[in-house]
Amino acid sequence: MFDAFEEKGKIYTQVISKNPVKVIIQTETNRIFGVIHVRPDERLKDTLDASEDFIAVTTATVFDVDGKELMFKANFLALNRNHILWATPEEEVVVGG
């Protein structure tokens, strides 16, 4: 479980690398622009399908349901997965195409 112990009792654990993915997330009441961190061998869908109740969204910008009125910004947002209607990587969005 733990990778190493220091003489003074500090515990070091294995670092898990993740890739930041800019996303747009729609809930019933808000549209969220932010970053979800995905393991290199997984897709965004795999991260969304994980068993935890909450998903971490960093550099979150939260708008009203239509994505027009800014509600607030947060460096970290724990989002309950049950409230997600849809999510997409920002790079996949094509406007007017």
pLDDT by residue (tens digit) across 15-49?
778 999 999 999 999 999 999 999 999 999 999 99
Q: What is the pLDDT of residue 7?
A: 65
pTM confidence score: 0.81
From residue 22, how far is each of 10, 13, 58, 68 by CA, in Å?
A: 34, 27, 9, 18
pLDDT tens, residue by residue, 52-96: 999 999 999 999 999 999 999 999 999 999 999 999 999 998 888
Q: How far is it, in rounded angstroms, from Cα 38 to Cα 33?
A: 16
Q: What is the pLDDT of residue 58?
A: 97
**Beta 11-12 vs 19-27: how paired, if at all?**
unpaired
Q: What is the pLDDT of residue 17?
A: 86
Rounded to 10 degrees, the C-alpha dihedral 78/75/46/52 comes to -20
pLDDT-derived band at 6 (thresholds 50, 70, 90) equals low
